[in-house]
Structure 1
Amino acid sequence: MVETKQINIVVAGPRGRMGSETIRMIIGTPGFRLTAAIDDGHDKEKVGELLGISELDVPVYADIDACLSAEHPDVLIDFTNPEAGKRNLQAAIDFGVRPVIGTSGFSNEEVEGYQKLMEEKKLGGIIAPNFAIGAVLVMKFSQMAAKYFPDVEIIELHHDGKKDAPSGTAIKTAELIEKTRKPKKQGAPDERETLRGARGADFDGMRIHSVRLPGLIAHQEVLFGSKGELLTLRHDSMERASFMTGVRYSVRTVMSLDTLVYGLENILD
């Protein structure tokens, strides 16, 4: 990983809960510099005015092309929504800016397409369903456990403002489990749902359940069952600051990558 003297960063979605936390992380990190923010509907304002941080005299752009062409940042961090995230990722590629994307909703085919474009430009970047180090470790541990425990169910719990279900983290966990788990359809052979959806989503025979409640942030439990024993792997993010270690690490790491990586686990030492 190559350290640079200063990394200039633009943040998309500064008023969002993850966006504002990201800005605070940048401000407090030596070697990071917030150069601008992108916020649809807010143009020619200051980030400090939006967030109530009076000393933050950094411009806000409504148009990402205008922002990237004027500011020439090294990195774009995006925690918006799937539609905006895809537009912003494409703009970053067009302008040669290294993207760090925390927005879910990218299909494997879309990721492969962006990877091809970025490899042509030797441009590094990352899309990560979850930037919490603990959550990524649960994914990796789940992949290890699935070799010995093929009966598995995933329960992901998030705040009630989350729009996608299941979460990107749950899907990524299931994809990793699929690599080591023998295919198996779980439950009774004649299982029947008396209420549709009661058994959750079906991914390669394993089940994924989504919980949405106020008071939650981001939580995941992976349950492995076998004769006479139950293995439970769980991670809880109590506040959004838990994601910032992974975001900070990703910003520094993409500076030395020449392709797009999907998943924080693929750049951890």
Structure 2
Amino acid sequence: MIRVSVVGAHGRMGSNVVSAVNAAQDMELVHTIDSGDDITAITSGNTDVAVEFSVPSASLDNVLALIRNDVNVVVGTTGWTEDKMNRVREELVNHPQLSVFIAPNFAISTVLAEHFAAQAARYFESAEIIELHHPDKVDAPSGTALHTAHKISAARREAGCAPIPDNTQSDGGSRGQIVDDIHVHAVRLRGLNAHEEILFGNAGEQLVIRADSFDRSSFMPGVLLAVRHAGKTPGLSVGLDNYLDL
């Protein structure tokens, strides 16, 4: 049995993780931690993997505390920057047997959409991203959209693509945030859950790749997949595609 603790267990995602772990035949839920609880209660003596779904302002400190207690970590909280990930890498130097896995998105459909987008990117002159979420989401653009933009941009650089054309002179912010040369637009609308559109264009043609998660249950197979892989690849890994045969 894999002993699992959940950080942020009372949140929208955390509560779904608790239910998924309880339903998994190869896992045992041992701790549920939320804001105000002592995270140091999660140790290698009682936990094999901690699943961290808190808030961006708390996630880094939570992950560092878990590493110091020799616990493998699966992170679903968004808001991770390269500086924060470097802090994790530095901490892992003293715990070389541990793994920390960060997923911009756990939905298999979204991971596949990102993979397809990276393949398509070199063949199109233009590329933009629209991400659409519920208005309770605290960050914008989403971690998924940021990750997708970086993958598209990397594929375009590798292929030697010319800069994306855009003659807009003064947009008043309407052109979205520029992420690694890719325009990313964030929509926050009641009734939505988690959605991403990746748009590619050439003269006379368009390709649209869209992934929709209508319910948080769509993320649970990816979370459980990451839990089952925890500890097998020491160090920091980012993206569920690490665990899929792509």
Question: Scaled by the length of structure 2, what TM-score is found?
Answer: 0.93
Q: Note the residue ranges of structure 2 that are not aligned, 5 or more in a row.
A: none
The question of 1:218 aligning with 2:197 is answered no
**Map of 2:165 onto structure 1:** 186
Q: Deviation digits for residues 13-48 of structure 1, max 9, x if unmatched? A: 11111011001100110110000111124xxxxxxx
**Map of 2:76 onto structure 1:** 102
**Map of 1:163 onto structure 2:** 138
**Map of 1:57 onto structure 2:** none
Q: How far apart are 1:120 and its partner, in Å?
A: 4.0
**Map of 2:56 onto structure 1:** 82
Residues of 2 paired with 1:83 and 1:112: CA distance?
Answer: 16
Residues of 1 paired with 2:28 and 2:117: CA distance?
Answer: 37
Q: Number of aligned pairs?
A: 240
The question of 1:202 aligning with 2:178 is answered yes
33, 37, 45: which one pairs with 1:38?
33
Contact 2:125-2:164 within 8 A present in 1 as well: no
Residues of 2 paired with 1:183 and 1:16: CA distance?
Answer: 44
Residues of 1 paired with 2:147 and 2:78: CA distance?
Answer: 10
Residues of 2 paired with 1:171 and 1:70: CA distance?
Answer: 33
Residues of 2 paired with 1:71 and 1:219: CA distance?
Answer: 39
* Structure with larger Rg: 1
* Residue identity in the other structure for 1:92: L
Residues of 1 paired with 2:31 and 2:173: CA distance?
Answer: 44
Contact 1:36-1:71 within 8 A present in 2 as well: no
**Map of 2:10 onto structure 1:** 15
Q: Taking structure 1 as reference, are residues 118 and 268 closer, same or farther at Cα in structure 2, changes over 3 Å only?
A: farther
Contact 2:66-2:73 within 8 A present in 1 as well: yes
* Residue identity in the other structure for 1:153: E
Q: Note the residue ranges of structure 1 that are not aligned, 5 or more in a row.
A: 1-5, 42-61
Matches for 1:89-128 after TM superposition, within 5 Å: 89-121=63-95, 122-128=97-103
Q: Deviation digits for residues 97-146 of structure 1, max 9, x if unmatched? A: 00000011111132133134325422112011100011011111111111
RMSD: 1.5
Once the two structures are overlaid, the 10-residue window that deviates more, 19-28 or 77-86, is 77-86
Q: Deviation digits for residues 168-225 of structure 1, max 9, x if unmatched? A: 000000010111113514322x5322xx211111123321000001111100000001
Runs of 4+ more than 2 Å apart? 69-72, 115-120, 203-206
Secondary structure at 1:113 match in 2: helix
* Residue identity in the other structure for 1:191: Q
**Map of 2:122 onto structure 1:** 147
Secondary structure at 1:26 match in 2: helix
Residues of 2 paired with 1:68 and 1:206: CA distance?
Answer: 40
Residues of 1 paired with 2:163 and 2:93: CA distance?
Answer: 36
Secondary structure at 2:122 match in 1: coil
Q: Taking structure 1 as reference, are residues 129 and 83 closer, same or farther at Cα in structure 2, changes over 3 Å only?
A: same
Residues of 2 paired with 1:161 and 1:27: CA distance?
Answer: 26
Contact 1:102-1:128 within 8 A present in 2 as well: yes
Q: How far apart are 1:261 and its partner, in Å?
A: 0.4
Residues of 1 paired with 2:236 and 2:182: CA distance?
Answer: 29
Q: Taking structure 1 as reference, are residues 235 and 70 closer, same or farther at Cα in structure 2, changes over 3 Å only?
A: closer
**Map of 1:266 onto structure 2:** 242
